[in-house]
A and B are shown apart, each in its own frame.
Chain A
Amino acid sequence: MASRILLVEDDERIRASMRLSLEDEGYEIAEAATGEDALESHARALVSEPFDLLVVDIMLPGMDGFACCRELRRSSAVPIIMVTARTDTHDIVAGLEAGADDYVTKPFEPKELAARIRALLRRARAGEEGPVALTFGDLEIQPEAGVVRRDGEEVHLTRTEFLLLCELAANTGKVLSREQLLERVWSYDYFGDGRLVDVHIRRLRTKIELDPSEPRHVITVRGLGYKLAP
């Protein structure tokens, strides 16, 4: 069955052309012109057939893409790709912090967006191998069930955060570089954007660490990368 994608973009022509090219890639597309519309469609779709992925433009009239992402993240772990017209650090980091899993910069090649979507959807379905449960101090990870518990209480992670944690857990004690994580979690090549890793690590820490400013599980190894400590 085709994956369902919600396209949130205020420019009608961009929306129409993206719809055409993504439909050619075999996806089922729904459209929203504003952030408010997007939230409504998303909520409505939850009862019948939830979206598999959202593509959200940052510059929207009214509620902007950042606010839209944040609002979605309050209740949903649905994969989100942010579309930005700028390559400024600020917008990209702000978008990732608002909860986006990945981003593309306008004008993007449709192939590029399709590749990002494929990688993200593959990730969303992944996680069927490996041990049943891993325990790190107060942290319990069940890769297969897609569940993380801290002190027995379930922690809600997005798919990307969860995979990042699993990747670190599968290599306990070993340092994984940004490049390795980009490749394994996001399927980026050598030139991927290291900020994706940094921001997601930050978000992951706020959820699984007791004190995110003094992380005990997800440790930064200066100049090398990150590792998971029991």
Chain B
Amino acid sequence: MSGTGLLRRVHVRPKERDQSARAPRLERPRPATRPSEPRLHQRRHVGLRARITITFALGAAILSGTIAAITYFSVRSSIVTQQTTSLYREAVASAEVLRPELQLPVAAWPHLLEGASAGAREAILFRKHNWYATSPFPAPPAPLSRALRATVLSGTPASETILVRSHPTYVVGVPIPAANSAYFALFSMSEVAGTLHVLLASLLLAAVVVTLAGALLGSWAASRALRPLHEAAEAALDIASGHLDTRLETDDYADLAVLTSAFNSMADRLQDRIEREVSFTSDVNHELRSPLTTLAASLSVLEGRAEELPERSQRALALLGAEVRRFRRLVDELLEISRIDAGLSDVSMAEVPLGDLVRRSVSAGFGSVPVEFVGESAERYVSVDKRRFERILANLLQNADNYAGGATRVRVETAGRLARVAVEDEGPGIPLEERQRIFDRFSRGASGRRRGLGEGTGLGLAIATEHARILGGRVYVEENEPRGARFVVEIPLLKEAAQ
């Protein structure tokens, strides 16, 4: 299987529409950096993956550990039983060999002892209150436990496992009552212990290897199982960032087919809906613009000949003109905002000095407002869409005109990486509780409502906010000193001048 994953993101061709000239185009510059959601998603993904890996490793460890323990204990018990049984028999046999000699009154006990105990590492003999040993150190009966001695001397054969000079030693005690003696054979168990150690080490190593293999398998399985999820999340983000033609594709596994078909049908519906909305906007756009063009052209003819009209007609014409212009602005702004919403509005960024930009923007419509630059702010460069910036400033100045008796000053300053362009007025100001809401669409502040002014469309500040957002900045309002409001456009500064 190819390593590219089970799911693939693909892009579908846009649906053919009958009015190709009016077909909506959804072009939105891909954001250079993704919004913060993916990082969150990434973290959750790693967590799940780690959990699956740990589960696999834990399972492998428990399984292999249990098997190792069972193997070790059963092998050990069988080896030890086998060994001790044969050693026991050997000791009994040696005692048998010694018995006739012991019944003699005098003999070279140690010598005899050595001869009879060829298989044992050491042998100890008790005869008539005397101890004899093949090895002088430690002196008998030192290595033997008191309990063993007592049992054996009371006439019962017994065995025990002890450490002699730190070697595991199997001791068999055989009473020889006929000679008033007891024979103890000490067998080294080092070899058995060594074998068991090797066995234990191998089993532990195997358990560790199996655990690691389990972890690897788990991590592989997790990444394999989560890859489609990841791919689906990427596709969803793709759609969210405006690539509505993104779809998922899979060529194996029925369970993924469920995911892909569900995802794709969701994407289909979403794309369809958005395209319909955009196409509706575009149709409304067209249908409204044509009559407005006629209205504007006819109005200009009438206005050009206003002096030929009677006085009453002139007054009516003035009203008509004001309303047509306001209607036009409203349509313009509605379309502007719906284009921004649909991600259709194009951005053309240019690097320009702030001074030039602000002076030109102000003089384009409100030339009488003084512009003041704090420090070197006029020489700093910004990367902006000039026309958008001009619209922001025009909307703020228009807003001041409509509700605050006109802007008194435009003040430009820089703060760190930001350029702040403030449109100041000395009107009634904006109460604290309205400072957020006035940027909402069609929401006019109390002063606007109270005055019942007909000039504003209720969209100017909302559009300024949207434009500022597109330029990577924001618009907010604060108190002006000594009175009035101060609307501030904040956009990022370029680090260095372009030239």
Contacts and interface: CB of A to CB of B under 8 A. Distances in A.
A110 B158 CA distance: 124
A195 B294 contact: no
B85 interface: no
A118 interface: no
Interface string B270-307: 00000000000010011001111111111011001100
A14 B293 contact: yes
Nearest to A58: B21
Contacts of A86: 282, 285-286
Contacts of B8: none
Interface stretch (B215-223, B345-353, B398-406, B463-471): B345-353
Given A24-B304, A88-B344, A89-B27, A107 B289 contact: yes
A110 B300 contact: yes
B390 interface: yes
B381 to A, nearest CB: 11
Interface residues of A, number: 33
A212 B294 CA distance: 42
A17 B297 contact: yes
Nearest to B344: A88
Contacts of B294: 11, 13-14, 16-17
Contacts of B498: 223
Nearest to A195: B348
Contact of A59 (B21, B331, B344, B350): B21
A194 B286 contact: no
B360 A88 contact: no
A201 to B, nearest CB: 15
A108 B293 contact: yes
Nearest to A112: B296
Contacts of A109: 296, 300
B390 A106 contact: no
Interface in B413-427: none
A85 B297 contact: no
B360 A189 contact: yes
Given A24-B304, A191-B360, A223-B498, A88 B298 contact: no
Interface string B484-499: 0000000000000011
A20 to B, nearest CB: 5
A34 to B, nearest CB: 14
B209 interface: no
A56 to B, nearest CB: 14
Interface residues of B, number: 38
Contact of A106 (B27, B292, B339, B386): B292
Contact of B290 (A106, A111, A178): A106
Interface in B348-365: 348, 350-351, 356, 360, 364
Contacts, number: 91
A106 B344 CA distance: 17
Interface in B49-73: none
Contacts of A64: 21
A107 B301 contact: no
Contact of A14 (B21, B297, B300, B346): B297
Interface string A1-37: 0000000000101101110110010000000000000
A24 B301 CA distance: 7
A189 B362 CA distance: 13
B284 to A, nearest CB: 11
B328 interface: yes
B197 interface: no
Contact of B348 (A13, A88, A110, A194): A194
Contacts of B21: 58-59, 64
B386 A107 contact: no
A191 B297 contact: no
A190 interface: yes
Contacts of B300: 21, 24, 109-111
A89 B285 CA distance: 16
B25 interface: yes
Contacts of A110: 296-297, 300-301
A58 B297 CA distance: 18
Given A89-B27, A190-B386, A223-B351, A106 B293 contact: yes
A74 interface: no
Contacts of B344: 88
A20 B290 contact: no
B111 interface: no
Given A89-B346, A107-B328, A109-B300, A191 B293 contact: no
Contacts of B301: 17, 20-21, 24, 110
Nearest to B19: A59
Given A20-B297, A64-B21, A107 B292 contact: yes
B167 interface: no
24 contacts: A11-B294, A14-B293, A17-B293, A17-B294, A20-B297, A20-B298, A21-B300, A21-B301, A24-B304, A59-B21, A85-B290, A86-B285, A88-B25, A106-B293, A107-B296, A107-B328, A110-B300, A110-B301, A189-B360, A189-B364, A190-B356, A190-B360, A191-B364, A223-B351
Interface of A: 11, 13-14, 16-18, 20-21, 24, 58-59, 64, 85-90, 106-111, 178, 189-191, 193-195, 223-224
Given A64-B21, A110-B296, A190-B356, 4 more contacts: A11-B294, A24-B304, A87-B346, A88-B344
Interface of B: 21-22, 25, 27, 282, 285-286, 289-298, 300-301, 304-305, 328, 331, 339, 344-346, 348, 350-351, 356, 360, 364, 386-387, 390, 498-499
